[in-house]
Structure 1
Amino acid sequence: MTTENVYRPLIELWLKKQQSPPIKKVVIFMDAKDAVSSFDGKTIFPKLLKEHGIEILDTISFQTGDIDYSAQITRAKALNPGGVVVSALYNEAGHAVAEIRKQGMKQPIVAGVGINDPRFIQIGGAATEGVLTGSDFFAANPEPKVAAWVSDYEKRYNQKPSNASAEMYDTLYLMRECIKGTGVDGTNVRADRIKLRDCWSSMKGSEAPLMGATSIDNNGDGTRIPAVLEVKGGNFVVAQ
């Protein structure tokens, strides 16, 4: 599933929740070293923000592994944006959000899919409260199949599953279904590859155990119904 499909409803709800005063200008913080975070920060978030007439005052970068974000936050604070966008993985985003709040910036924060990991909240602490993000999985989903999987994961690994863990699980599940459904048996590798390619490209509404109905569009991108999540009380919950 492309991040654009995840971020569109995320940005819409983020802006809707911030009506007084409305967000008109933002600063984007971006991990320039992480490929997905960099692409989202330079391409996807700007595109969606501009669709809503939001001005981007600056795009401020840092790199995976950085621990001191004071200079970047000071630079952003001087611009007095109405909102803050963070496109980074959970570790860097957690530190960045903590520094944002430490320097007294109270602007609403929206973040990319890279923060969808319980460790984002552990690292950022109370500063993460109210941060919005998008995902097609969240560990607190009360759906019985999801709850059972999360419980088993926690017993096995002594931690809550991340979005990446759930994505890999569902992807392997769907691949297994393609293998079973098309008769792939390893006797003809060339033919097996074609069977798997066609299974994925024609996928429409296939039920993945954790994230539900999954389809592949004409561009070869996965499509699902994403959830908008908010950090509340130290957990990711569905944003209202």
Structure 2
Amino acid sequence: MGAVADAGQMSQRNKGRRDLEARIGYVFADKSLLDTALTHISALSGKTRAGSYQRLEFLGDHVLGLVISDMLYRAFPDAEEGELSRRLADLVRRESCADVARTLDLGAAIKLGVSEANGGGRRRTAILADVCEAVIGAVFVDGGYPAASAFIERLWTERMTKPKRPLRDAKTVLQEWAQGRGLPTPSYREVARTGPDHDPEFRVLVELPDLPPAEGSGRSKRAAEQAAATAFLNREGVSSAPPET
């Protein structure tokens, strides 16, 4: 009975992997890469971090940036650097990656520790975004740049042509608002950095003379600065957009 049960479980896992590969649109030669891309560190219980998706996430993050930059360069030949940079930032941000993960239903396939799973980890934006980037990294390792590029283009092309939010970022809007009132350029100051080296959280203050500062946080200094600028604009009634994370 035990052997039959084990065979049944393996068959179920293989079917689940095939279904996921079908949603991803890529069949892995090395199935272990996909398994690793779906493994959160909480599922390892004291084992080495190398077994989690973190290394593949690191790689996928940079592959995504390269492919999206290439797509933007070709799609918008008349766009200046600033516009391309704003489009890039919108397409590779955490929420965009998490949206792709939800489209592929990656959350159901993530391997999590019991506590993380019970805490809603499968729906958490940060984890979904990380796993999306890890899958990109896994596709790149397994199939090279052409496979990763095809995967990204299939899932990001529509997002590229129909951005979900204005392309004028909060820092730009705040700078224009300040200049329109005869104020100097806003200054940004990092006030705290917390979390592990591989996943830091930055807190930044944005300041203008004679006005209270505003604070924002994010996984990079750039994201934290944007969040601080958004918070400042919201307070002054200039923008109602939620702070970026």
TM class by shorter chain equals under 0.3
Larger Rg, first or second structure (1 or 2): 2
Which structure has more relative contact order (CA 8 Å, sep 6+)? It is 1
Higher strand share: 1
